[in-house]
Structure 1
Amino acid sequence: ARSGKESILIWNGKAVSVKKLVINDLLPIAYAGLKNAGIQDKDINRYLEIIEKRTKGQTGAEWMTKNYRRLRKGMNQDDALISLTKSIHKNQHTSKPVHEWPPLEPKPRIHETAHLVSHIMSTQLFVVNEDDLAELATSIMLWKNVHHVPVENEKGQLTGLLTWTHMKRFKEKDAEDQDQTVAEIMTKKVLTVEPYTEIKDAIALMKKNEYGCLPVVQDQHLVGIITIKDLTGLNYG
C-alpha cells in the first residue's frame, strides 16, 4: 500500500518487485489465458497495453501523490485538494488512461467562481480548548506561526479566539502569570459567519471591524475559518 508497484513480493520462491512481476510474468500469463479463451488479439492488446504502460509509467495513486505535493508548494491544503479533484474529474472526461495524465502546476487562487464563504474557508484548523494552559497554546502559535486560533469548550462550541496580539501580550508577562488558562487571555467577543455567507459580506465585516479573520460556524460548531490571506486575489473590492 505504501510502495505501490515498487513493493517487493515473493513469486515462485523469489523476491521480485510488483513492476517486474507484472511485466515479466503476469502480463504474459494474462495474454496466453485470453488467447486461449478466444479473445481477439486487438482486444487483448488494447487492454493489456494500458496495464503495461501504467506499470512502466505512472499509476493513478502516483499521479495524485506527486501532483498533490507539487500543488502544496504554492497552495494551502484545501486549495490543493480542490484543484486535484477538479483535475481528476477533467481528466476522466478526456477518456485518457491515467499514465497519460499531465502534471499540474500550483496557481495563486483557484476560486474563480467562488462567492460563498464555504468556497474559500480553510477547514484544516488548529483549535485549542478554553481550559488549556495559555503557555502551551501561545507557544504552539509561535512555533507554528499561527496567527488566529479558535477556542472551543468541552461541547465543541466556539467560545473565543486567540490572536497573535494575545500571544505577544502573554509572552511579555512575568513568569507568575504562566499558569493562566486560554479562557483568561482570549477574546470572548468573536464575530462569526456561516458557510453560506456571501464572500463580499464577509469582507465588508472584516473591513468594518478591522478583523484579520472570521471563524465560520454552523449550528454553534466551528467548521472553518477565513483570513485576510484567503481573500488575497479575489475580486470583491
Structure 2
Amino acid sequence: MYQVKDFMTAEPICLKDNNSLHKGRTTMRKYSIRHIPIIYADSGNFAGILTQKVVLSNAISIINTKGLEALEDAEKSISIESVMDTDVVTVEPETPLLDAARFFKKNRHGCIAVLDEYKVVGILTSGDFVKFAIHALDESM
C-alpha cells in the first residue's frame, strides 16, 4: 500500500512565522509554488501554511486601498504569522496515501503538511497526485 512519503514533496521550502508577506509572495513566484509550510522562528516546529489564495487576497486588498506602488512596502510590514492558515490538517509520512486522497476529495484543500513529530518533512499537494497517476498508469502498461 502506498504511503504519503512515497509521493510527497520531501524537504519543501519553508518560511518562518516572522518573515514578511512580501517574502512569502516572492518565494512563491521564484519557485512556482502555491503553498509554503511555515515554521516557528524560535523552535523550528510547524506553525501553519501560507497559501497563494491568502497572498493574492492581501495583494489585491493593498493595491485597491493604497495602489500598486505601495504593495511591496505594505507586504513587508505584514508578518506571515498574521495571515497564515493555522487550522490545517497534518499527516505523518506513513499515512496511507488513500486516506490523504479521501481527505483531499472531501475537503477540497490544496495541500497537507507532512510532519515527523512537530517538524515539517514534506508537503503533499494535488500536483503530487498527478505524479501518482502517472506512476500508476506507467505500471499498468
| Range class of TM-score, shorter chain | 0.7 to 0.9
Greater alpha carbon shift after TM alignment, 114-123 vs 186-195:
114-123
Which structure 2 residues correspond to residues 87-236 of structure 1 after superposition, within 5 A? 115-153=2-40, 154-172=42-60, 173=62, 174=66, 175=70, 177-178=74-75, 179-232=77-130, 233=133
**Contact 1:128 1:151 (8 Å CA) reproduced:** yes
- Secondary structure, in 3 states, of the residue corresponding to 2:58? helix
Higher strand share goes to which structure? 2
TM-score normalised to structure 2 length: 0.80
**CA distances 1:93-134 after superposition (whole Å, capped 9, x unpaired):** xxxxxxxxxxxxxxxxxxxxx611111111131100000011
Provide structure 2 residue ranges, at least 5 long, that are not aligned to the other structure.
137-141
Give the partner amino acid of 1:162: L
**Contact 1:157 1:221 (8 Å CA) reproduced:** yes
Matched positions, count: 122
- Secondary structure, in 3 states, of the residue corresponding to 2:94? coil
Provide structure 1 residue ranges, at least 5 long, that are not aligned to the other structure.
1-113
Q: How much has 1:143 moved relative to structure 2?
A: 2.8
Runs of 4 or more above 6 Å deviation: none
TM-score normalised to structure 1 length: 0.49
In structure 2, C-alpha distance between the alignment counterparts of 1:117 and 1:177, rounded to whole Å: 38
Aligned to 1:61: none
From the CA coordinates, give the structure whose radius of gyration is larger.
1
Over the residues paired in the alignment, what is the CA RMSD in angstroms?
1.6
In structure 1, C-alpha distance between the alignment counterparts of 2:23 and 2:2, rounded to whole Å: 37
In structure 2, C-alpha distance between the alignment counterparts of 1:211 and 1:201, rounded to whole Å: 14
- Secondary structure, in 3 states, of the residue corresponding to 1:190? coil
Q: How much has 1:213 moved relative to structure 2?
A: 0.9
Q: Percent identity, aligned pairs only?
A: 25
Higher relative contact order (CA 8 A, sep 6+): 2
In structure 2, C-alpha distance between the alignment counterparts of 1:129 and 1:182, rounded to whole Å: 8
